[in-house]
Chain A
Amino acid sequence: MPFALLKYALSREHPDDPHFRWKPDLKKTYDVIIIGAGGHGLAAAYHLAKDHGITNIAVLEKGWLAGGNTARNTTIVRANYLTPEGVAFYKESVELFRTLSNELDINVMYSERGHFTLAHTDAAMRTARWRAEVNKHMGVNSEVIDAAEVKRICPTMNVTDDARYPILGALYHPPGAIARHDAVAWGYAKEAMKRGVEVHTQTEVKKILIENGRAIGVETNRGVIHAAKVMQAVAGSSSHVARMAGLRLPIKTIPLQACVSEPVKPILDQIVVSGSLHVYISQSARGEMVMGGATDPYGLYSSRSTLDFKESLMGHMLELFPFMGELRILRQWAGMADMTPDFSPVMGLTPVENYYIDAGWGTWGFKATPVCGKRMAECVATGRQPDLLKPFALSRFSTFDLVGEKGAASVGH
């Protein structure tokens, strides 16, 4: 039994060492206000405090800590993107994830499982090769493998010619991982709060105060607070919040649904994604199958669940894993995906001075949490767009310098 648990075993009372020390009151001014206490906002606060010595920060959250998309994603981490810009960015994220448990002193259960992007068509095989070539060039471990190799690595998968959409091969990305999403956000919150950052939940931003083209603070349901800099990190509500700052974002918000099964003993080690079949699946440390599919066919600001989602998902899931028929779905839910035209995020400076944006994450915000937090903190602290974020600037949409990542989407969107 690891020693860390001894203090719990040896003390009569539960040690008084809370992860979070909540402050009841809002101050009148802060150096930085971060709107949104999800993984991204909390990571940015942590890095502002740790790397840049800025600790007079308020992270404001309309709901509860990390209760938005941070709580709703399916926890996959990978760097097998399509564009060199995207690969470089996510490669740094994977590197940060690998040491995150130690960094944050909480077990985020980062588990490298190996990640398949299955190809059922020639077109998918071509895209797989494209991604593999770019990945390898950037030092990211990805290979195109054939169907026999898929079967060898994941023997329970149905890799037969008589499937409706036979598997031709796959992009295999051994570093592909899963992590405990909540623990990531809690770890950032804990370490940020330890350094003096305040996190205020149930605190909704109603207005962004702008004077002479500069952000100077926000009005909340608990009063007005001022700050030298304001950053938004509110996946699923990005357009709404940005509009308060007078910004129009090229974002369409679409529900993305997911579900988990009842826990069963380990039977699937890898993360399996099929774009043609619109499914992805991995098995959590608890034994649940964590599954999702394509985004919903229409835009909507509602995290309602639908029946069609499960029907379509399971029809295809059983083609890949016919033996899962008797397994049961325990729970389904939805998150909100902010889709940009080029399927890449928006990070950094905005036309509003001292207002910084972190948005447009579509279906892959969780996996960027550490790198986005680190680089957004750098951006906010220095007032300059870091090199790694330059391709992802908001201005790219008016200059057509897009970063086309549609081909790296897990499933259809």
Chain B
Amino acid sequence: MSGHSTGRIDKPGFGLLIDRTKPMSFTFDGRLFNGYHGDTIASALYGAGQVLLSRSFKYHRPRGALTMNGLDANTLVQVADEPNVRADLHPISSGLAVKSINHLGSLERDAFSVMDYFSRFLPVGFYYKTFFRPAGIWKYFERPIRIMAGLGTLDPRAEHKYYDKSYLFADVVVIGSGPAGLEAAIAAAEAGADTLLIEEMSELGGSLLYGRIGDSRDAADTLRRDLVAKARSLTNLTILTETVVSGLFTDGWVAAIGGNRLYKIRTREAIVAAGSFDQPIVFRNNDRPGILFATAAQRLMRLYGVRPGNRAVIATSNAFGYEAALDMLDAGGEVAAIVDLGTTSAPAVEAARARGIRIVNNATLVDAKGYLRVESIGVASITGHGKTSNVTDWITCDCVLISVGCSPALNLASHAGAKVVFDEALQMHRAVNPPVGVSLAGSAAGVWSPKLVATQAQATGAAAASRIKGEPAVGSPDITDHGAAAITHPYPIFKSGKGKEFIDFDEDLTVKDIINSVKDGYDDIQLVKRYSTAGLGPSQGRHANLNTIRVVGGVTGKPLEAIGTTTYRPPLVPEKFAHMAGRAFEPTRLTSMHRRHEELGAQFMTAGLWMRPAYYGAKDDAQRAIEDEVRAVRTAAGLIDVSTLGGLDVRGPDAAAFIDRMYTWAYEKQPVGRARYTLMTDMAGVVIDDGVACRLAPNHYYVTATTSGVDQVYRAMTWFNVQWKMDVDVANVTAAYSAVNLAGPKARAIVQSLATDIDFSKDAFPYMGVRTGTLAGIPVRILRVGFVGEAGYEIHCPAGYGEALWDTLMAAGKPHGLKPFGVEAQRILRLEKGHIIVGQDTDGLTNPIEAGMDWALAKKKAFYVGKRSIEMQAAKGITRKLVGFTVIDSSAPVPKECHLVIRGGQIVGRITSVVKSPTLGKVVGLAYLPLDMTDVGQRFEIRVDGVMVSAEVVPTPFYDPDNARQEL
């Protein structure tokens, strides 16, 4: 790896994060590289002389690290099946296989780099301007364009890895552990608040890890050690490192990601001390590898012991550039020149001058030579706003360090609801009016001078703590740092007219592209963003927005504060899908009898969160199994687990009146010990659920609801209960009870064979009766209802007895030919009996009259939910009705549910339920038909997979029309 002008710095004070005693090797595009424990992919590659990391999105230009902090798209690589990995954050490990992305051929020789020469053909928004004539041609262009776009690659065979979530709680959360974050966290904790400090790096300190205070590295290091020691000594200050806060939500959630974990944090006060983002200087070829932010160079040197080159040129408009120059010298490198866009004065300037560095004032970079790495840099003097002299002084160098300004990291404050405005004096954006519980500290708050940072951050931390305690604040965090105005150059954009000056590295957008967006009529910053795609790439405009706004300001002549800015959207840093999914815990509800169903060979189906037996038997023998189950119910007895049915306990003096308002029928005079059918409609009169209401006591109803409907019924009940303020309590006891339906001609004999305190004789316990008591020692609520059209008992018991109830009944039923039956058989049985299923035989608009349920509408009641709407529809007259039908030709294809009824080429109706009835030996079903087709005996045509099948309206129930059997 020698011969390259980079390398490791073998001096104290460099390489804070690496352990030189632990070398390790990894591969990049198949080539072996060495690094140390603690290195990132990018630092190790840089240390080994591999500055080129990637190819750009559109023009396939060579790119290298820009921020060394995971904030740019230049460092995206592929690691195994993980696309778009930030090489400057991802640690190396032994044997790690890293691949570069987005090129054809090799990273060094990318055949797609010809795109760079075609850029004249690719004006901003070019894809809107062509590829569409003649009509239909886009589909031929789209595929190659899709292949050219995109960065990393997904492997469809990749597995879902382990990720999880953790919930944390704190009085104060401090985001970022730079000097401001540390001071704020310490102040909050010292004031008694339970404080959580979150840092993305493995070490605390932020800029103190690599930067200087004034011209002194020691001062920064000492301050860091002092603050960290103090922070670590506070027992009510929790520190979370290698964790990044990605979102601060208006509903109070703080989202943070560390390793494979999503932390969901609840806090009363969030302090954003996330620092600021460096801003690039815009000049021709400003994207060449080796041109990087001064802070990135400092990170490379101090954190990883890697010198970014042997001979640097610094371009700066503030003291930070000079400080980086001193670091470069201390690291054993050479500084060819400091190009100062103005005339900075600071202690570091004097120190640099004292060490003999050439300083060129009022000058800027205008061009760069070198392709895979910068080789020399063109410097010219500044003659005006964005203008330079045409005399270029070329300086040989192998790296260029940029420090021409910053943009505070306001993203999180903005997510939480703060307004972002441009501050002309600071030449930076500021967050104003953050919501209660959100404050900013340090450079995020526009405060930079170390002394003021300490004062401001301490006041911010203390103020947060005092708000929590409800005490008056001591000291104000509202501090203006006038010195900060010297940091950000107002217009570091120098357009040469030839070549490419990049504004957005992710999207390969040049100054010309932004200017031309405005020329094309897209003069609002939001339109510029959408038309040019500025800021839409992986770094979400962190290094592009400010310069875009400046260029738009330049073209439109508007002041920057009038231009506004595009909206910050979460997340702050991209989040893996798997982080959000976590363990993707999806609850599955099993009834208390589930084990028994498994033992009996049940095939299960999902019913909402529940698993229910569809039928008992082998999959390839389903038809026979289902028919056997039907036969057992009709001829002997069947037992079905109906524990998933909703159960609601409604109690209180107003229970009857409440039920009367919720459901369409009349309940106030319903006797205790009786069940009554319930039909629920919404305010538009649409049928939404049904069940039965059992009056167990004058003030106590037990109401059943459908498996899928109970949650909505419960929600409706609680919602209306709040509105009506009735003296009633509603409890969803679905999970508290298990239930079975024992049905068939032998049902009574089976229950009578068990020890019980309930009189099951026909007269003592008639149809629609309800009894509570015990059955074989099990406490039960028994409803004599019949969904399947046979004598039957719906037996409810506390869920803990569910399995025992099942076993008891199965054993007692054995001599009587009892068989378990599943949902499939139940569907057939209920349809033979002509019972509707809400949601299947009703749709999103069905009113009770159309569904043939007018008998369940109480006419004399003053009110129920939906009454007004139903009465209006009744007065207007309905247009369709649900009727029973049978297919005339038994050899015709069997219609399926939702096949359509056609008359005169028009859709006039729909089949909602249909079955070839094993009991009746014919096809029966329910269908919506227009009113003039609903008379018994009328014929109609169903389109069955393209074939017209004749059917005839018949009365329901199809089976046992006189209801003799269920009332047996």
Contacts and interface: CB of A to CB of B under 8 A. Distances in A.
Given A305-B415, A314-B577, A326 B142 contact: no
Contacts of A286: 149-150, 533
Nearest to B518: A18
Interface stretch (B32-40, B158-166, B727-735): B158-166
B138 A107 contact: yes
Contacts of A109: 127, 138, 142
B898 A133 contact: yes
B84 A262 contact: yes
Interface string B61-97: 0000000000000000000011110000000000000
A12 B273 CA distance: 47
A102 B605 CA distance: 50
B329 interface: no
A264 B843 contact: no
Given A264-B83, A326-B82, A5 B129 contact: yes
Contact of A64 (B149, B249, B516, B524): B524
B905 to A, nearest CB: 9
Interface in A81-121: 84, 98-99, 101-102, 106-112, 120-121
A323 B80 CA distance: 12
Interface stretch (A123-131, A213-221, A385-393): A123-131
Contact of B132 (A16, A101, A121, A327): A101
Contacts of B845: 342, 402, 404
A50 to B, nearest CB: 18
Interface in B877-927: 896-900, 902, 907, 910
A302 B606 CA distance: 36
A8 interface: yes
Given A325-B577, A343-B844, A126 B898 contact: yes
A110 B577 contact: no
Interface stretch (A204-212, A328-336, A355-363): A328-336
B594 to A, nearest CB: 16
A317 B580 CA distance: 10
A156 interface: yes
Interface string A330-358: 11110000000111000000000000000
B167 interface: no
B252 to A, nearest CB: 10
A123 B577 contact: no
B900 A134 contact: yes
B22 interface: no
Contact of B576 (A17, A129, A201, A325): A325
A8 B581 contact: no
Interface stretch (B114-122, B306-314, B655-663): B114-122
A107 to B, nearest CB: 4
Contact of B531 (A182, A331, A332, A400): A182
A406 interface: yes
Contact of B574 (A22, A318, A330): A330
> Residue among B135, B247, B580, B588 with the most chain A CB within 10 A?
B580
Nearest to A291: B577
Contact of A130 (B250, B588, B910): B910
A137 B154 contact: no
A111 B142 contact: yes
Given A5-B121, A329-B577, A311 B582 contact: yes
Nearest to B684: A341
B138 A65 contact: no
A102 B132 contact: yes
Contact of A164 (B141, B588, B684, B839): B588
Interface residues of A, number: 102
Given A314-B578, A333-B569, A325 B161 contact: yes
Contacts of B82: 326
Contact of B150 (A134, A164, A264, A343): A264
B158 A71 contact: no
Given A182-B530, A325-B161, A65 B524 contact: yes
Nearest to B81: A326
Contact of A315 (B135, B524, B586): B586
B156 interface: yes
A332 B839 contact: no
B146 interface: yes
A382 to B, nearest CB: 27
Interface size class of B (residues with CB under 8 A): 35 or more
Contact of A107 (B128, B143, B522): B128
B687 to A, nearest CB: 12
A316 B577 CA distance: 10
Nearest to A157: B156
Contacts of A400: 684-685, 869, 872-873, 876
Interface string B858-878: 000000000001001100100
Nearest to A317: B577
A307 B255 contact: yes
B808 to A, nearest CB: 31
B762 interface: no
A40 to B, nearest CB: 18
B580 A264 contact: no
Contacts of B899: 129, 133
B527 A65 contact: yes
Contacts of B268: none
Contacts of B417: 304
A383 interface: no
B192 interface: no
Given A102-B135, A120-B606, A329-B571, A285 B145 contact: yes
Given A264-B152, A325-B581, A18 B133 contact: no
B523 A1 contact: no
Contact of B519 (A16, A201, A328): A16
A322 interface: yes
A151 to B, nearest CB: 12
B816 interface: no
A331 B411 CA distance: 12
Contacts of B524: 64-65, 201
> Residue among A6, A71, A341 with the most chain B CB within 10 A?
A341
A405 B139 CA distance: 31
A102 B136 CA distance: 10
B132 A107 contact: yes
B955 interface: no
B463 interface: no
B151 A262 contact: yes
B3 interface: no
A2 B130 contact: yes
A50 B120 CA distance: 34
A267 interface: yes
A22 B264 CA distance: 47
A407 B132 contact: no
B155 interface: yes
A327 B577 contact: yes
A285 B575 CA distance: 21
The 10 lowest CB-CB distance pairs between A and B, nearest first, are A287-B150, A20-B521, A328-B574, A325-B578, A4-B130, A101-B132, A18-B521, A314-B580, A130-B898, A406-B844
13 contacts: A4-B129, A8-B120, A8-B129, A19-B520, A20-B521, A101-B133, A106-B128, A262-B538, A263-B57, A265-B154, A283-B146, A318-B577, A400-B872
Given A5-B121, A319-B584, A333-B567, 15 more contacts: A5-B126, A14-B512, A17-B520, A111-B139, A263-B150, A266-B147, A304-B250, A304-B417, A311-B581, A315-B585, A325-B163, A325-B578, A330-B571, A332-B571, A400-B876
Interface of B: 57, 81-84, 118, 120-123, 126-135, 138-139, 141-143, 145-147, 149-161, 163, 247, 249-251, 253, 255, 262, 264, 415, 417, 512, 515-516, 519-524, 526-527, 530-531, 533, 538, 540, 567, 569-571, 574-578, 580-582, 584-586, 588, 605-607, 684-685, 839-840, 843-845, 869, 872-873, 876, 896-900, 902, 907, 910, 943
